[in-house]
C-alpha cells in the first residue's frame, strides 16, 4: 500500500515559525454500544480496565445498566463506571452524565456489601454534572402517562433522565457545583425547578423542605468526590507518564438523540461525539474506538426493530440470554443480527475493532440468519433511514449460515470454535469491513476469546 504525503509550511507569526501542535501523550480508548444497548459493554470495559488508570462515563444517568460477573459474584453498575472493580483505577463521572445522588449512594453501598472497597476514594464526579431529583423521575412517569396509548409511549426507564436533560437545555437545571457551593443559592434553584415543573404538572407532589434537608446531607457526603474532571481528565491525557484511559459508553449508538431511531432514543449523544462534550476532551485525544455488538439484536421498550423475532426463536434468545433490563427488569425484544444497524453505527463512530458478545446463546440453532440490507420498493437503501414510517415498510435481505449445534462456552481460542461459528464471525467481518477482536462465549468475565487483529 502506498500513500502520498503533502507537506505544508506553517504560517509565521511575527517572523517566527509556529510550533507544530503536539498530540496528547496518552490517547483515550472509547467503548461504545453498536446497537440499541445491552450489548455487554461492561464485560469489555472490565476486560480492559484491569490495566486502566482511568475509566470514565460521559453521558446518560442511572438508566444505564452494565453487568460484570467475577467468579460467583455478579455486579450491576448503573452510574458507576464498570472499571471501579479495578482497585488501582480512578473512576470518573463526567460533566455529560446526569446524577441521581440517592441512586448513586445506594449503588455504592450495594457494591461495598459485595466486597468492593475504596470506591468513594477512587471516584471523581464532575462539578459540572447536572442533578436528577426525585421530581424529575415523577415527571418522567407523568409524561409517559400523558401519551396515553402504549404505541405513543417511548418506553423510558422513568429514571428522570429526559426531564433532567430538558432542565439542562432550558437553563434551569441544577449542577453539583451548586449543591456543594452556597446552599442558600442551591435552595433558590431547587425552588425554581419545583415551580417550573408544577406549572406543567399541578398535581406533582414535592416536599420541598424534606428534600432540601436531605440534600444538605448529600452535599457533605458527595463533597469529597467532586472534582473539576475536565482538568483532571486532560491532565491524565497529557501526563508524561503512560496512562491508560478508557471511556465507557452508556446506552448505544442507535439510542443517540441525533442519530438513533428518534423519538425512541435516550436524551444524550451516546456516539463518539458525546465523549468530547461529555468529558471536555479534544478530538485529538481519541485513539481506538471499539464497538460492542451482541451476536443477535435486542432492544428494550418500543421503537422500530426490522429483524425482530416474535415467536419461538425470539423467545429462546430471550430465555437463554437472560434478556431482561439490568435497571428496569423489563424483557428485551430479540431478533436476528442486523448488520445494517452495525454498518451505520460503524460509519458514525469509526470502529477500530469490534467485540461480539453472547455468541454462545446461538448454540442450539440449526441455522442462523444475518440481516445484511434493507430493501424498499425493490431498491436497496444506502444506509439506515431516518424516516420511521419508511423503516416500518422495509424488507430485510438475509444471509443464512449453518448453526454449530455445540456448546462453545469452553472455547478460549478462535481455533477452538466449530467451523460454523468461525464462519458466522467471518460473515460479520466481511460485511462490515471491521476486524472482530473479542468474542464472548459465556457469562463469566473469563469466557472470552481475544484475537490478534
Residue 251 labelled as part of a binding site: yes
Residue 420 labelled as part of a binding site: no
> CA 300, CA 385: separation in Å to the nearest integer?
20
* pTM recorded for the entire structure: 0.90
Q: What are the pLDDT digits (tens) for 195-209?
A: 999 999 999 999 999
Q: Is 277 exposed, middle or buried (0-12, 13-18, 19+ CB in 10 A)?
A: middle
Q: Which residues are designated catalytic?
A: 38, 66, 168
- Return the C-alpha cell found at 206: 414535592
Alpha carbons within 13 A on the beta-carbon side of 249: 37
Spatial contact of 437 and 453, defined as CB atoms under 8 Å apart: yes
Q: Identify the band that residue 260 occupies on the pLDDT scale cut at 50, 70 and 90.
A: very high
Residue 92 labelled as part of a binding site: no
> CA 39, CA 46: separation in Å to the nearest integer?
14
Give residue limits of the domains in the chain: 28-127+228-450, 130-225
Q: What is the bridge-based pairing of β-strands 66-70 and 73-77?
A: antiparallel
Residue 8 has pLDDT above 50, yes or no: no
Per-residue pLDDT, averaged over 156-184, amounts to 93
Residue 330 labelled as part of a binding site: yes
pLDDT at 137: 94
Spatial contact of 326 and 68, defined as CB atoms under 8 Å apart: no
Q: Give the closest residue to 245 by CA, choosing from 449, 355, 94, 104.
A: 94
Residue 63 labelled as part of a binding site: yes
Q: In this predicted structure, which of 21-30, 79-88, 256-265 has the lowest mean pLDDT?
A: 21-30
Spatial contact of 400 and 367, defined as CB atoms under 8 Å apart: yes
Spatial contact of 314 and 322, defined as CB atoms under 8 Å apart: no
Q: What are the pLDDT digits (tens) for 348-407?
A: 999 999 999 999 999 999 999 999 999 999 999 999 999 999 999 999 999 999 999 999
State the CATH class of domain 28-127+228-450: alpha beta
Residue 326 labelled as part of a binding site: yes
Q: Identify the band that residue 326 occupies on the pLDDT scale cut at 50, 70 and 90.
A: low
198-204, Cβ contacts within 8 angstroms, sequence gap of 24 or more: 200/139, 201/138, 201/139, 201/142, 204/135, 204/138, 204/139, 204/142
CATH 1.10.300.10 fits 130-225, yes or no: yes
φ, ψ of residue 128 to 5 degrees: the values are: -95, -5
Q: Is the bond into 270 cis (omega within 30 degrees of 0)?
A: no
Amino acid at each position: 500500500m502506498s500513500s502520498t504525503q503533502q507537506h505544508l509550511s506553517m504560517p509565521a507569526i511575527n517572523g517566527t515559525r509556529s510550533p507544530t501542535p503536539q498530540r496528547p501523550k496518552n490517547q483515550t480508548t472509547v467503548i461504545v454500544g453498536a446497537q440499541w444497548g445491552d450489548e455487554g459493554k461492561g464485560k469489555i470495559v472490565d476486560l480492559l480496565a484491569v490495566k486502566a488508570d482511568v475509566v470514565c462515563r460521559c453521558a446518560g444517568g442511572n438508566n444505564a445498566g452494565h453487568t460484570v460477573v467475577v467468579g460467583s459474584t455478579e455486579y450491576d453498575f448503573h452510574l458507576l463506571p464498570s472499571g471501579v472493580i479495578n482497585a488501582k483505577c480512578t473512576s470518573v463521572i463526567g460533566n455529560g452524565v446526569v446524577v441521581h445522588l440517592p441512586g448513586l449512594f445506594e449503588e455504592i453501598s450495594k457494591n461495598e456489601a459485595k466486597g468492593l472497597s475504596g470506591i468513594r476514594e477512587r471516584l471523581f464526579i464532575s462539578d459540572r454534572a447536572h442533578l436528577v431529583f426525585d421530581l424529575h423521575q415523577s415527571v418522567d412517569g407523568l409524561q409517559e402517562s400523558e401519551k396515553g396509548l402504549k404505541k405513543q409511549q417511548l418506553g423510558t426507564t422513568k429514571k428522570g433522565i429526559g426531564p433532567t436533560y430538558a432542565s439542562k437545555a432550558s437553563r434551569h437545571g441544577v449542577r453539583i457545583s451548586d449543591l456543594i457551593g452556597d446552599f442558600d443559592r442551591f435552595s433558590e434553584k431547587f425552588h425554581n425547578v419545583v415551580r417550573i415543573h408544577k406549572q406543567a404538572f399541578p398535581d406533582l407532589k414535592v416536599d420541598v423542605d424534606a428534600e432540601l434537608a436531605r440534600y444538605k446531607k448529600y452535599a457533605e457526603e458527595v463533597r469529597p468526590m467532586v472534582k473539576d474532571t475536565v482538568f483532571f481528565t486532560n491532565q491524565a491525557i497529557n501526563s508524561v507518564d503512560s496512562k491508560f484511559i478508557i471511556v465507557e459508553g452508556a446506552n448505544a449508538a442507535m439510542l443517540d438523540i441525533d442519530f438513533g431511531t428518534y423519538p425512541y432514543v435516550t436524551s444524550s449523544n451516546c456516539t463518539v461525539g458525546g465523549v468530547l462534550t461529555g468529558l471536555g476532551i479534544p478530538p485529538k485525544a481519541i485513539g481506538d474506538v471499539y464497538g460492542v455488538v451482541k451476536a443477535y439484536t435486542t432492544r428494550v421498550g418500543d421503537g422500530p426493530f426490522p429483524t425482530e423475532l416474535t415467536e419461538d426463536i425470539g423467545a429462546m434468545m430471550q430465555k437463554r440470554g437472560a434478556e431482561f433490563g439490568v435497571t428496569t427488569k423489563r424483557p428485551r425484544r430479540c431478533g436476528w443480527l442486523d448488520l445494517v444497524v452495525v454498518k451505520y453505527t460503524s460509519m458514525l463512530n469509526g470502529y477500530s475493532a469490534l467485540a461480539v458478545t453472547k455468541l454462545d446463546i446461538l448454540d442450539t440453532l440449526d441455522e442462523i440468519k444475518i440481516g445484511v440490507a434493507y430493501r424498499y420498493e425493490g431498491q436497496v437503501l444506502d444506509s439506515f433511514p431516518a424516516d420511521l414510517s419508511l423503516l416500518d415498510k422495509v424488507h430485510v435481505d438475509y444471509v443464512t449460515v449453518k448453526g454449530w449445534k455445540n456448546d462453545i462456552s469452553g472455547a478460549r481460542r478462535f481455533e477452538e470454535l466449530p467451523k460454523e461459528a468461525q464462519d458466522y464471525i467471518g460473515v460479520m467481518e466481511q460485511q462490515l469491513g471491521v476486524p472482530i477482536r473479542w468474542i464472548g462465549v459465556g457469562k463469566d468475565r473469563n469466557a472470552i476469546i481475544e484475537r490478534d487483529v
